[in-house]
Amino acid sequence: MREKFEVNGIILAAGIGTRLRPVTDFIPKPLLPVDGTPLLESIILKMKNAGIAKIAVNTHHLAERIETFVKNSPHAGYVTIYHEKEILGTGGPLVNAKDLLSETDCFILYNGDILSDLDVGKLLDFHKASGKMATMVLINGPENRVLTSLETKTSGTVIDILGKLGKSSASARLLTYTGIAVFSRDIFKYLPEQPVNCSIITAILDALKDKPDSVAAYLPEKILWNDIGTVAKYFSLISAPAKHKAQASAVSEIKVYPLVEQGSNRKFYRISYPDSSKVVMASYAEDQDFDRFIRAGNYLFRNGLGTPQIFSHDKAQLAVLMEDLGDETVHHLLRKKNKGEVYRKVIDWLVEFQKRTCELGDECRREIDRSFDYPGIRWETEYFTENFLKRYLGVSDEKCAELQARFDTLAQESLKQPQVLIHRDFQSQNILIRDDNVRIVDYQGTRYGPVAYDLMSLLKDAYVDIPATLRREMQEYYYRKTQETGVKELTFSKEQFRKYAVVAGLQRNMQALGAFTFLSLVKGKQKYLGYIPNGVRNLIEGIDELELLPDRPVTLTELLGILVDNPKFER
């Protein structure tokens, strides 16, 4: 058991968390939970367990959140808040809390964004035994800038930082400062008299100039350490199994957890705070639609067209902080409510969406600036050919080549329809009901395309079993609603609409089957294999409907034969 000596501490919690934006636009970094426990609480508990007498916590960014957390916690009588109207860096906070920190012979500084399993008690024992003015906790890490002369594997003396003193040594090593250190009261000789923005590193360098051997280096063995510097790094901890197990939080109501993963490579996380919740989208490096997601989302939201509000985003992090639309998807509602009632509500919204975007005219076209042109439409059937026909069914190249002229004609027919703004993935899992209003997600693919495309995405949705009679009833309902709008693009005869619906349905069915195959067989998301049989039934039904058109533009009987003759499917 180590000898008791009194030590106070300070946790730096005022930072803006720039590298973790836009998450930190909503929650200050020290309150972000890992394994259900906020970083700040983990550090407080670590200090308490090591016998730290009193703790100072500085605040600036989202200060009220940290202050409320401390006030409502069991630590309220143990922690003193020092608010900074202007941020004071890493040195100024020590001066601001000098009254508390100078009560004891030494104090510990701990950055509030550090996740670590450091044994604080052993660190304090080491510092006292060293007799030095300061002890810096160092690791061989991502920013090796502290030049250290090592006497043992776990200890040594700091010689220089950032090369500021011009010192060198053949046997010295460059190491990373962990954001954790212990200081004697003598450090205040090297800090300003009044709290101003300054760096603790500058004070340490001044101490080294004055007394070259006054700063010890402590290198804990097998330390787990993470400064949670980026959005990707933080969410990798949320998704991964627990590695840093702290005592379960008894006070925090802040929760962060991943939402159900869909086909996209984008990942979504819900961050809930006692008074609100937000969703963070974390995208991937190759995401070419990130800017479009922001621009289209902002434009459609401003016009009341269903997208979530975007509060902030960070292009460097490819991350977005946005409105939480909840979990009530149409897919979920269809299992517990009258299907016709749910579909009529969504179709009412779809017709209004098409009407409004048509009325917005050139302005909307400028903002969205994307069309479902011939190459784009043909890409869908090529995607279907390569993934579903060849990869999944094993259809020969020769047979697939015979279908391509048919798919060319189908694409040309799609372009003959009135072109309106479409979501392009308007299926039950991308449509939510929030406060009795229809809302949409995964909208970055929105563009101008065939008028019936979104309707048939909804009604030929492989995620849902839709009786053919209900599908026909809903198509009729959509037709009646469009004819009431008086909008030119939504005015067509029943015969025209019937053809539009069949052609758009075929396009959509083939795209979906290509996607299910790609996601399951290439991306390893096996659950999508389960939707293929429903998608095939929809496609067969669509081919039958095509054959019944009086002015059939093309025949797909060859494709029908491939489907019905394949042993993987039963008609």
Identify the CATH number of the domain in which residue 50 sits. Answer: 3.90.550.10
Domain extent for 445 = 330-565
Residue after which a domain boundary falls, among 323, 346, 372: 323
**570 within domain boundaries:** no
Same domain, 105 and 225: yes
Residue after which a domain boundary falls, among 230, 245, 271: 230
CA-nearest of 503, 477, 50 to 42 is 50
Q: What is the pLDDT along the chain (571 residues), one digit of tens a residue?
A: 345 568 999 999 998 888 888 888 888 999 988 888 889 999 999 999 998 989 999 999 999 999 989 998 888 889 999 999 999 999 999 999 999 999 988 999 999 988 898 999 999 999 999 999 999 999 998 889 999 998 888 889 999 999 888 888 778 899 999 999 999 999 999 999 999 999 999 999 999 999 999 999 999 988 888 888 788 888 877 754 444 443 344 455 788 888 876 656 788 888 888 778 899 998 887 788 889 999 999 999 999 999 999 999 998 888 999 999 999 999 999 998 999 999 999 999 999 999 999 999 999 999 998 998 999 999 999 999 999 999 999 999 999 999 999 999 999 999 999 999 999 999 999 999 999 999 999 898 899 999 999 999 999 999 999 999 999 999 999 999 999 999 999 999 999 999 999 999 999 999 999 999 999 999 888 899 999 999 999 999 999 999 999 988 889 988 888 888 777 766 4
What pLDDT shows up at residue 545?
Answer: 94
What pLDDT shows up at residue 185?
Answer: 92
Same domain, 484 and 340: yes
- Domain CATH for 280: 3.30.200.20
218 φ/ψ sector (left φ>0, alpha ψ -120 to 50, else beta)? beta
Query: For residue 497, what are the contacts with CB-CB under 8 A and spacing of at least 6?
Result: 452, 475, 479, 482
**402 within domain boundaries:** yes
- E strand spans, 402-508: 419-422, 431-434, 437-440, 447-450
With 0-12 / 13-18 / 19 or more C-beta atoms within 10 angstroms meaning exposed / middle / buried, residue 348 is middle
Q: Report the alpha-carbon distance of residue 563 to residue 464 in Å, rounded.
A: 20
For residue 210, the SS3 value is: helix
For residue 59, the cross-strand partners are 83
What pLDDT shows up at residue 264?
Answer: 65
Q: What is the DSSP pairing of strand 55-59 with strand 7-12?
A: parallel
CA-nearest of 401, 361, 380 to 453 is 380
**217 within domain boundaries:** yes
**Exposure string (b/e) for 94-115, b if CB count within 10 Å is 16 or more?**
bbbbbebbeebebbbbbbbbbb
**303 within domain boundaries:** yes
Same domain, 150 and 15: yes
For residue 108, the cross-strand partners are 9, 182
Q: What are phi and psi of 535, to 5 degrees?
A: -65, -40
Q: Report the alpha-carbon distance of residue 439 to residue 433 in Å, rounded.
A: 6
Same domain, 424 and 514: yes
CA-nearest of 118, 121, 107 to 8 is 107
Same domain, 319 and 347: no
CA-nearest of 158, 264, 169, 256 to 213 is 158
For residue 21, the cross-strand partners are none
- Contact (Cβ atoms closer than 8 angstroms) between residue 261 and residue 280: no
Q: Report the alpha-carbon distance of residue 177 to residue 109 in Å, rounded.
A: 12
Domain tally, the chain:
3
Same domain, 396 and 488: yes
Residue type for position 565 = D
Residue listed under structure tokens 């090591």: 50
Same domain, 527 and 484: yes
CA-nearest of 412, 384, 341 to 509 is 384
Same domain, 153 and 300: no
**88 within domain boundaries:** yes
CA-nearest of 345, 407, 420, 423 to 374 is 407
* Continuous segment of H or E residues that includes residue 282: strand 276-282
For residue 473, the SS3 value is: helix
**571 within domain boundaries:** no
Same domain, 384 and 474: yes
CA-nearest of 532, 515, 325 to 437 is 325
**361 within domain boundaries:** yes
What pLDDT shows up at residue 317?
Answer: 86
Same domain, 301 and 350: no
DSSP-derived secondary structure letter, 418: P
- Helices and strands counted in the chain (H then E): 17, 22
**2 within domain boundaries:** no
- Contact (Cβ atoms closer than 8 angstroms) between residue 521 and residue 392: yes
What pLDDT shows up at residue 100?
Answer: 95
DSSP-derived secondary structure letter, 386: I
Same domain, 424 and 343: yes
Same domain, 113 and 219: yes
Pull the structure tokens for residue 409: 């004609």
Residue after which a domain boundary falls, among 174, 202, 230: 230
How much of the chain is helix, strand and coil, in % rounded to 5? 45, 20, 35
Question: Is the previous residue joined to 22 through a cis bond, with omega within 30 degrees of 0?
Answer: yes
Residue type for position 346 = V
